[in-house]
Amino acid sequence: MVGTDWDQRYREGSDRWELGHPAPPLEAFLRRDARAPQPPGRVLVPGCGRGHEVALLAHLGYGAIGVDFSREAIQAAKALHGSDPDQLRWLQADLFHAEALAAAGISAASLQGVLEHTCFCAIDPAQRTAYLDTVMRLLAPGGWLLGLFWCHQRPGGPPWGSDAALLAQQLAAAGFRQELWEPAQGSVVERDHEWLGLWRRPVPEPGPVVA
Ligand SMILES: C[S@@+](CC[C@H](N)C(=O)[O-])C[C@H]1O[C@@H](n2cnc3c(N)ncnc32)[C@H](O)[C@@H]1O
């Protein structure tokens, strides 16, 4: 689906993914779990929709950036949450359009974090490797990917399901170091089989010192 297809869904209200608030497992983890990454830092939310997780990140002290290729979504996010040049930014762009991101200052190794919520299940599964490669490229060494992934097994999509074991393998193959991967706690009732994960872009080992 392209941006205008999503625009149509936002316009006609066929947006059954809309929670009206941040996903409870992500909010609880960020606010209360000792394993959660800590602000400050620039954090991107791909496919941010109406931006509830972006606003939460800004509230927690991150420099939060919401990206979505739907004009409707970005307009609604701005209207709902406002904007701030340092803490809360919005960009209408395709996540896979590296030049558009770079023009907005989102370039290689420029982010401390990426927060995933229902973008991964919205893109064509054939784009998943590109998604992971994009996140890896944008993260600074040591940067994190926190995500709530929908591991339902129903055919078709969006929302496309995932297999939890396979997804962990895909992340490892993309070069991520896993810190957490477990069934999510406190998901809304319609979201069966959500998994919560936290991964890092590894910090390169220092090279040998040449005397
Ligand atoms: C299922 S909605 C979820 C929105 C939001 N994350 C939420 O949970 O409310 C998926 C969103 O991803 C956006 N999206 C899909 N593919 C995208 C891409 N390649 N680049 C940017 N946004 C994309 C869509 O426009 C849509 O707003």
Structure confidence by residue, pLDDT tens digits, 52-84:
999 999 999 999 999 999 999 999 999 999 999
| Ligand 1 centroid to residue 61 C-alpha, Å | 23
Helix axis angle, 52-60 relative to 71-81, nearest 10°?
40
| Ligand 1 centroid to residue 100 C-alpha, Å | 16
**Residue 55: which CATH number?**
3.40.50.150
- DSSP strand pairing (177-183 vs 194-200): antiparallel
Residue 207 lies in a domain: no
Q: How many domains does the chain have?
A: 1
Residue 25 lies in a domain: yes
Residue 210 lies in a domain: no
* pLDDT score of 81: 98
Compute the distance between CA of residue 185 and CA of residue 164 in angstroms, rounded to an integer.
15
Residue 209 lies in a domain: no
Take atom 12 of ligand 1 and give the residue whose Cα is closest.
47
Strands (E), the chain: 42-46, 63-68, 88-92, 111-117, 139-150, 177-183, 194-200
Compute the distance between CA of residue 163 and CA of residue 41 in angstroms, rounded to an integer.
31
Residue 37 lies in a domain: yes
Residue 151 lies in a domain: yes
* pLDDT score of 211: 74
Compute the distance between CA of residue 131 and CA of residue 65 in angstroms, rounded to an integer.
17
* pLDDT score of 80: 98
Compute the distance between CA of residue 199 and CA of residue 146 in angstroms, rounded to an integer.
7
Let me know: does 177 contact 133? Beta carbons within 8 Å: no
* pLDDT score of 139: 98
Structure-token match 């800004």, residue found: 58
Helix axis angle, 52-60 relative to 24-32, nearest 10°?
10
Residue 176 lies in a domain: yes
Residue 97 lies in a domain: yes
Which residue from 54, 71, 119, 129 has its CB within 8 A of the most atoms of ligand 1, so it is best to mutate?
Answer: 119
Cis peptide before 159 (omega within 30 of 0): yes
Per-residue pLDDT of the chain (211 residues), as tens digits, is: 888 899 999 999 899 999 999 999 999 999 999 999 999 999 999 999 999 999 999 999 999 999 999 999 999 999 999 999 999 999 999 999 999 999 999 999 999 999 999 999 999 999 999 999 999 999 999 999 999 999 999 999 999 999 999 999 999 999 999 999 999 999 999 898 999 999 999 999 888 888 7
Let me know: does 80 contact 150? Beta carbons within 8 Å: no
State the amino acid at position 140 in one-letter form: A
| pTM to 2 decimal places | 0.97
State the amino acid at position 26 in one-letter form: L
Structural domain span for residue 27: 3-8+17-200
Evaluate: CB of 148 within 6 angstroms of ligand 1: no
The C-alpha torsion from 96 through 90 and 197 to 148, rounded to 10°, is -100
State the amino acid at position 84 in one-letter form: D
